[in-house]
Structure formats: structure tokens, C-alpha cells
């Protein structure tokens, strides 16, 4: 594994779709063991940013680096192998398999044996406090459990960095609070650098050490929670949308 001291960083990243710039000159650093929030109105470029940091979208200009390596042109599976995992807004589980098998196939895909992968999957579900999900068919899972399993699957890669795209969408406040404590534990107990994208700004502010605010493809503010809460630019962006 790569040393936990290195960061995942975007530097001066612009992503253009034809003449339209979804991101303009974005610079952002994800450090190990900390939760970073990414908020902004609809269409601000949040998903494009996650895609760019995970190999799903190459930057038009600018760089993405992992430690000292330039990784901006790596495809998603190589980014994963390099230690960067993500979740998706929609499930993407294998509906015909139970939860344990959904997780175990990830381990097998990484070259581990079936039994090692199952043991790791069970250990992870246990660590997350949901061991009872192991035997549940993926197809019938309640929405919030499906979200948890999506996170568990990403954690099967033992990533140095985990990017969460709207993990609390559709959750009640109580469920979102549970999720918040899980996200904190991922950073604090596993040492993973987390980037959390959420519409639920309260959730982001409750768990993030550092928050980035995107509006119309540009970072309009960044800093700790106090800095975000006292920012006129942030207030304007949200009121104007
Ligand atoms: P957010 O996640 O903040 O809602 P997105 O990153 O999804 O924002 O989108 C930012 C902008 O880029 C939007 O205007 C969106 O329509 C546009 N966009 C995103 N992906 C593409 C694409 N593949 N082709 C063209 N435009 C895109």
C-alpha cells in the first residue's frame, strides 16, 4: 500500500464539455484521516469533480495527483487499485446476489480467495454494525441499507481515499445521523481521506474538517465550518439558486 501521508489533489482543474465549462480552475486537496465536504447548488459541478478525482472524467486542463504521481489520465479501475474508491448515487449492486456475495466478489476481483474475501466482508459488516445484512438479498434491501452496502463495497478495496456521492439522499434525519457517525469512523479509525458530496448541508457541516463550496464550476469558498457559515459568498450562492 502507498504511504498514508500522501494526498489526493486536483490542481487548476478545468473540465469542458464542448464550449461549456463544468469546472473552472478548481484546486482541492483530500488529506488522509479527514473528512472533506463538497457542497454547492445543483449543477455546480460536484459530480463532475468526483468523476475527475476517480478516473471517470479526464481533466481538460490541470492535474490530478496522488502523492507524487500524476493520475489524471488513469481509468477508474486503475484509480481504485491506486487507492481511490467511490460510491455511486444509485445502488449498482448485483441484484441476484446476497449482500455477502456482493461484497465478496469485490475481494475475489482483487485477487483474494473466496474465503478470505468472505471473511473480510463479514468483518466489515460487523465493523459497520450491520452483520445481519450479510444474508439479505441485494434486490430487496431497504434504501438506506443499500446505501450502507454501497459504502461497504467501496471499503472492500481498503481505499486510502473514499469519495461519497450524495450518500444521504432519501434518508431521514436519524438515518443521516447514523451515516454521519459511520463517515467519521471511516476517517478516524481507518485513516481514510473522505470527500463527501451532499445536498444535506447540515450533514456535511456536522462531519467535515474542511469544506469546499462550488458554484457554477468554481470554488467560491473553502475552510472550516465556521468559515463556511460566516461566508457571504456562500449565502449568496445558496440564496441565488
Ligand atoms: P452537480 O453535481 O453539482 O449538480 P454536475 O457536476 O452534475 O453538477 O454538473 C455540472 C454541470 O455540467 C451541469 O450544468 C451539467 O449539466 C453539466 N454536465 C455534467 N456532465 C456533463 C456531460 N457529460 N456533458 C455535458 N454537460 C455535462
Residue 5 pLDDT: 64
19 lines ligand 1 (CB under 6 A): no
For 195, the enclosing helix (H) or strand (E) is strand 193-197
Mutate to test the pocket of ligand 1, among 17, 37, 164 (most ligand atoms within 8 A of CB): 17
Residue at 67 is within a domain? yes
CB atoms within 10 A of CB 201: 17
Mean pLDDT (the chain) is 93
Task: List, for residues 109-151, the tens digit of each pLDDT value.
Answer: 889 999 999 999 999 999 999 999 999 999 989 988 999 999 9
- Note the pLDDT of residue 91: 65
Q: Is the CB of 198 under 6 A from ligand 1?
A: no
Domain that holds residue 35: 8-91+160-240
Q: Ligand 1 mean position to 31 CA, how many Å?
A: 25
Protein residue closest via CA to atom 23 of ligand 1? 17
Mutate to test the pocket of ligand 1, among 48, 88, 89 (most ligand atoms within 8 A of CB): 48
Give the count of beta carbons closer than 10 Å to the beta carbon of residue 67. Answer: 15
Q: What is the pLDDT of residue 128?
A: 96
Taking 3-state DSSP, the helix, strand and coil percentages for the chain, each rounded to the nearest 5, stand at 40, 25, 35
Give a yes or no: residue 125 inside a domain: no
Length of the chain: 241
Give ipTM to 2 decimals. Answer: 0.95
Domain membership of residue 109 (yes or no) is no
Residue 114 lies in a domain: no
Is 77 a domain residue?
A: yes
77-120 pLDDT per residue, tens = 999 999 999 998 776 889 899 999 999 998 888 899 999 999 99
Q: What is the CATH number of the domain that holds 213?
A: 3.40.50.300
Q: Is residue 150 part of a domain?
A: no
43 CA from centroid of ligand 1 (Å): 6
Pocket lining: 241 vs ligand 1, CB cutoff 6 Å: no
Q: Please state the rounded mean pLDDT for residues 188-214.
A: 95
What is the number of domains present in the chain? 1
Rg value, the chain, Cα: 18
Query: Across residues 34-40, what is the average pLDDT?
Result: 97
Distance 166 CA to ligand 1 centre (A): 15
Residue 133 located in a structural domain? no
Burial pattern 30-52, b for ≥16 Cβ within 10 A else e, equals bbbbbbbbbbbbeebbbbbbbbb
24: Cβ below 6 Å to ligand 1?
A: no
CA pseudo-torsion sign 11, 34, 145, 198: negative
Any domain includes 176: yes
Q: Mutate which of 10, 16, 21, 22 to test ligand 1's pocket (most atoms within 8 Å of Cβ)?
A: 22
Amino acid at each position: 500500500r502507498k504511504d498514508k501521508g500522501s494526498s489526493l489533489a486536483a490542481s487548476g482543474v478545468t473540465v469542458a464539455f464542448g464550449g461549456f465549462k463544468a469546472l473552472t480552475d478548481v484546486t482541492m486537496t483530500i488529506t488522509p484521516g479527514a473528512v472533506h465536504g463538497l457542497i454547492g447548488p445543483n449543477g455546480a459541478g460536484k459530480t463532475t469533480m468526483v468523476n475527475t478525482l476517480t478516473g471517470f472524467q479526464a481533466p481538460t486542463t490541470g492535474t490530478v495527483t496522488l502523492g507524487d504521481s500524476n493520475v489524471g489520465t488513469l481509468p477508474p479501475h486503475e484509480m481504485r487499485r491506486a487507492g481511490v474508491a467511490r460510491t455511486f448515487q444509485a445502488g449498482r449492486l448485483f441484484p441476484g446476489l446476497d449482500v455477502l456475495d456482493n461484497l465478496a466478489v469485490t475481494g475475489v476481483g482483487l485477487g483474494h480467495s473466496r474465503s478470505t474475501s468472505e471473511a473480510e466482508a463479514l468483518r466489515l459488516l460487523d465493523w459497520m454494525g450491520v452483520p445481519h445484512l450479510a444474508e439479505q438479498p441485494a434486490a430487496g434491501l431497504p434504501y438506506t441499507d443499500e446505501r450502507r452496502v454501497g459504502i461497504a463495497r467501496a471499503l472492500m478495496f481498503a481505499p486510502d481515499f473514499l469519495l461519497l456521492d450524495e450518500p444521504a439522499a432519501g434518508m431521514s434525519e436519524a438515518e443521516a445521523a447514523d451515516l454521519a457517525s459511520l463517515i467519521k469512523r471511516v476517517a478516524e479509525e481507518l485513516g481514510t481521506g473522505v470527500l463527501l458530496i451532499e445536498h444535506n448541508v447540515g450533514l456535511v457541516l456536522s462531519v467535515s474538517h474542511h469544506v469546499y463550496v462550488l458554484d457554477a464550476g468554481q470554488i467560491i469558498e473553502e475552510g472550516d465550518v465556521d468559515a463556511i457559515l460566516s461566508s457571504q459568498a456562500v449565502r449568496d450562492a445558496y440564496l441565488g439558486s
